[in-house]
Structures are given as C-alpha cells and as structure tokens.
Structure 1
Amino acid sequence: MLRVLIIGATSAIAEATARRYAQRGARIFLIGRNASRLHAIRDDLRVRGAADVSCDTLEVNDLAAHAGALDQAWQWLNGVDVVLIAHGTLPDQTACETSVQTAMAEFATNGTSTIALMTAIAPRMEAQRSGVLAVISSVAGDRGRQSNYLYGAAKAAVSTFASGLRQRLAKGGVNVLTIKPGFVDTPMTRDFPKGALWAKPEAIARGIVRAADRGRSVVYLPGFWLPIMLIIRHIPEFIFKRIKL
C-alpha cells in the first residue's frame, strides 16, 4: 500500500494531488495550518477511496515544531513512500520592497521553511533507502523578474537545495523531485487575469503524480513552460534589463 505524506495539504495543488493518491487506495497523512480545512479534506479523501487518512497541524515557520510533526507522520504511516511539500504564499512584491520584515517573512515561508523540512525529512528517507521527496518550487525561480523577484529568489533557493539533495540521496535509493509549475488558477491567484498559459490544479496534480511514478528529477508543469523558461533564461542581461516581465 502506498504511503503518502503531504505538507501544505490545504493548498489547491496539494488537495488535487491527494485526491489522485486517494483514488489509488493510498494511506495518506496531511499536514497543514488550518485544522478544520484539514479535517474536511481528510473526510473527502476517505470517500474517494483512500485506505485511511490522518492529519496534524503545523505552522511551517515554527522550525522547532517540524521534527514532532514528521515523527507523528512517520509513525502513523509506518514509513513514507512519497512526500510532497506544497505550502507557500504569493508575496506582494511592492510590499516586500518597502519592508525588510515583510520580505524576510515571505522568504522564510517560501524558502527557508521548505529547506528546513527537506533537511529534516532527508535522513528519514535515507534510512529507508527508498521513496520520493517531491517539492513544489516554481518557474519563477529560474530567473529573477521585477514583478516577483522576492518569491523567485525563495524558489531559486529551494530548487538549488533540491538539486544538491537529489545528488546526495540518489545513491541511497531516494529520488528528489523538483516541481516547477507556471501560472496555476487557484484561490491564491484569484485576482489575476487568466489566459492561455494558465493551468488548473488538477492538471498540475496529474503531472506531479506521473513525474513521481517515473522517477523524474525536475518537471515543468505544464510541459510548455520548459521551452518558455529556456528562452527567458538565455535572454542576454543587457536586453533583459530593458523588458518588463
């Protein structure tokens, strides 16, 4: 039976991913900040076919609380086959530019807390010598852009950390999967005008599960973001400075 741990489980992408694993009859442990929302998702997943579902609350920026939450998940699941780290916010770039406190708080939520969780999870999976550690980064981390460079910097840190961790854990049978979504239509982006480049959480979830099954290292979702970001990364700096992204 597949054993799945999802951190940031109340996000739209995480919930959609959990539903796909529930349909497989997985045993699922959910970690998030909102207890009532976690309980609602837990009950829904049971109806959708999950073998069993449990949950626990965690404030991801409380780094001292990570170990306890992970211990509880590992004990309840009796080992973990797939971990998905999916929490995050979408910072107001202007607010980050005018407040050091806001900038550092947003970097902590989107970068530092994820790195701390990956650091704590790694030895547990290393001891198992198996499993997939999947983390949601973003295409925003591929190159800093004036519209969201605080968020991009945090995601770049996550992607780079995941790259090094992947190399470290590969010899022990553990795969680290970096997930780089583009624009996703979620409650977090409800105020943004939508267009052809936007995807639904269900499409991202399908890609996450497929990439985890296939042992992928890095996946852009939807896939058309790979050539888009390849172009953006290779725009010369003297040109890049003159365009608005």
Structure 2
Amino acid sequence: MKKILIVGAASAIAEHYARLEASAGSSFLLAGRSRARLDAIGADLQVRGAAQAGAFVLDVNELDRHESLLEAAWAGLGGVDVVLLAHGTLPDNAACAADPALAMREFATNGGSTIALMAAAARRLAAQGHGTLAVVSSVAGDRGRASNYLYGSAKAAVSAYASGLRQSLGGSGVNVLTIKPGFVDTPMTAAFDKGALWASPGAVARGIARAIDRRRAVAYLPGFWWAIMRVITHIPEPVFRRLRL
C-alpha cells in the first residue's frame, strides 16, 4: 500500500497506473488542470480500492505553486512513497518552428516545469530518506528527429536532468526512475496511424509499476524500444540526416 502523488493524473498512462495501485489500497493525491476530471478519476480509484484519492488543481507552468502541491501531498498523505510526473503535451513541430514564443511555451510545459517539479520533489523525498521519483520522458529525447525535435529536445533535457539527479541522490534512499515510452495509443495520439510498434496505456502502466517496484533507473516501454533506440542513436549523422525520420 503506497502513498502516491501523480502530476498529470488525467493522462491515460497515469490513470492506468493509478488503477493498478488502487487495487492494492494505495492513497493518492491527483494533480491536473481539470477539477471535474480529477474528481471523476478519484471516485473511480476509490471504487477500485484506493484508501483515498484527493485532488489538487494545478497548471504545471505556475512554478510558484509547486511547493503548495508538495505540501498538500505530504500533509494529506502523511508522507509520499512515489511521485509520478506524467504531464505533458504533444506540440505541433511545424507551428513551434514558425513561432518561437509557442516553442518556448511548449518547451516549458514538457521540459522546464518537469525539471522544476523534480528538483522540489527530490528535496522532500531526500529529507524523508526514502521514495521513488518517477518521471515520464520519451524515446524522442534520445535523438532529435525532424518530425518532433521541439518535443524531443524537452524530453532530452528531462532525461539528462533525471540522470544527474539520480547520481546526486545516491545513498539517500531515493530512486529516480526515467520512463521512456515509445508510441502509445492515447487520446493525445488519436490522429496518428497505428502499427505494430504502438502500445496501450495499460501495458505501459504495468511496465511503470514493475520498474518502480524493482527500483529501476531507466525503463524503455515496451522493452523493445531499448534496442530500437540503440540503433537510431548510432546511425552516423550524414546517414541520419537523409532519413528524415
């Protein structure tokens, strides 16, 4: 039975993860932008066995409210075992290339806000001497690609920060888990054609639960993405440039 804070709790992956933990009697604080959506998810989790499921309305780009969220989680849950950061958007790369202000807003949502939350959550977890900080990054952060380099650059920043934070917290009792999903069939990707490489949010959520319980450092989900990205990251730049992935 865990005490879990989820930021971006209305995302499909986060909701499926919460359902898994609810069946074990875990307690939650769910953070997101829509009170109605959070309340509906919380009610569902309690039906599934959650001990409690509170809600905290938050725009992650309001950095000055991050501490209020964490204070609410630690006070309301009596400490936190797992912090899962699962918020984000899937920006239009062409629109971001044409509008620097839009690009910076999207980078802030997918990169800057996540890093700020990681830093604040890590301090609290380290102070209590245990817990897991799990952050949803992406395989897109392993190498910039023509189709989504704004999104990929934000996720690359998150992955690099998580790697350094994990090293800095060695011996503290706190594990930092970087979650790198590939293609996931969610409402955010509804317009995309699906194929064999696509995974369900439920499958990714199960992978997250296993990685947290095993105190993994990095989890590619599904696991075959580790091999795919090893190939992609080792393609020589002149060849990669012509591929236009």
Gaps of 5+ in 2: none
1:78-119 Cα shifts (integer Å, max 9, x gaps): 110011000000000000010001100000000000000001
Map of 1:182 onto structure 2? 182
Kindly indicate whether residue 129 of structure 2 is the aligned counterpart of residue 125 of structure 1: no
1:125-183 Cα shifts (integer Å, max 9, x gaps): 00111000000000000000000000000000000000000011121010000000000
Map of 2:115 onto structure 1? 115
Rounded Cα–Cα distance in structure 2 between residues aligned with 1:209 and 1:55: 21
* Identity fraction in percent: 63
Map of 2:222 onto structure 1? 222
140-149 or 235-244: bigger deviation? 235-244
Rounded Cα–Cα distance in structure 2 between residues aligned with 1:130 and 1:108: 28
Map of 1:40 onto structure 2? 40
Map of 1:53 onto structure 2? 53
Kindly indicate whether residue 78 of structure 2 is the aligned counterpart of residue 73 of structure 1: no
Gaps of 5+ in 1: none
Rounded Cα–Cα distance in structure 2 between residues aligned with 1:144 and 1:99: 19
Rounded Cα–Cα distance in structure 2 between residues aligned with 1:170 and 1:95: 40
Rounded Cα–Cα distance in structure 2 between residues aligned with 1:100 and 1:85: 26
Map of 1:173 onto structure 2? 173
Q: What's the CA shift for 1:52?
A: 1.2
Rounded Cα–Cα distance in structure 2 between residues aligned with 1:209 and 1:75: 24
CA RMSD across the alignment: 0.6
Map of 2:208 onto structure 1? 208
Q: What's the CA shift for 1:53?
A: 1.0
Q: 3-state DSSP class of the match of 1:241?
A: helix
Map of 2:145 onto structure 1? 145
Q: What's the CA shift for 1:2?
A: 1.2
In the alignment, residue 146 of structure 2 is paired with which amino acid? Q
66-75 or 103-112: bigger deviation? 66-75
Rounded Cα–Cα distance in structure 1 between residues aligned with 2:2 and 2:84: 13
Rounded Cα–Cα distance in structure 2 between residues aligned with 1:123 and 1:97: 35
1:54-82 Cα shifts (integer Å, max 9, x gaps): 11100000001111111011100111001
Rounded Cα–Cα distance in structure 1 between residues aligned with 2:33 and 2:166: 27
Q: 3-state DSSP class of the match of 1:53?
A: strand
TM-score by length of 1: 0.99
In the alignment, residue 235 of structure 2 is paired with which amino acid? I
Rounded Cα–Cα distance in structure 1 between residues aligned with 2:102 and 2:2: 39
Rounded Cα–Cα distance in structure 1 between residues aligned with 2:2 and 2:86: 19
TM-score by length of 2: 0.99
Q: How many residues in Structure 1 have an aligned counterpart in Structure 2? A: 245
Q: What's the CA shift for 1:51?
A: 1.1
